[in-house]
Amino acid sequence: GQQVMQIPQYQHVQEGEDFTTYCNSSTTLSNIQWYKQRPGGHPVFLIQLVKSGEVKKQKRLTFQFGEAKKNSSLHITATQTTDVGTYFCAGRGGSYIPTFGRGTSLIVHP
């Protein structure tokens, strides 16, 4: 079945440093979504990417979808303590339901 791998599992950064998490699929995706889960909270939808090579920005967050539609990345510029949480990608292949990656936990040290 479809597998979505996400790296790294954890990332410690100093406040102000940049952060990137990567998502790779074993199959071509029709779209990919990103979610954020704050500690003790629930996953919250951030964005969806559909087109090959698509790049979307939300303030300090930049999302990319690979040309082959098998990988994606989330980059945060100048992290803040409010960025703390786990970031999940969820890739949708042939099934209606996307497959979630294991997530990357971001820890920001002030």
Partner 1 sequence: DAGVIQSPRHEVTEMGQEVTLRCKPISGHDYLFWYRQTMMRGLELLIYFNNNVPIDDSGMPEDRFSAKMPNASFSTLKIQPSEPRDSAVYFCASSGGQVYTEAFFGQGTRLTVV
Per CB under 8 A, residues contacting partner 1 are 33, 41-45, 48, 88, 92, 96-103
Start-to-end CA span in the chain (Å): 41
d(CA 3, CA 68): 16
| Structural element, H or E, at residue 108 | strand 104-109
Alpha-helical regions (H) of 15-101? none
Q: Minimum distance between the CB of residue 26 and partner 1, rounded to whole angstroms? A: 16
Q: Minimum distance between the CB of residue 96 and partner 1, rounded to whole angstroms? A: 6
Give the nearer residue to partner 1 in terms of CB position, either 21 or 99: 99
Give the nearer residue to partner 1 in terms of CB position, either 60 or 102: 102
Give the nearer residue to partner 1 in terms of CB position, either 33 or 79: 33
User: Are 22 and 36 a contacting pair, CB within 8 Å?
Assistant: no
Q: Minimum distance between the CB of residue 58 and partner 1, rounded to whole angstroms? A: 14
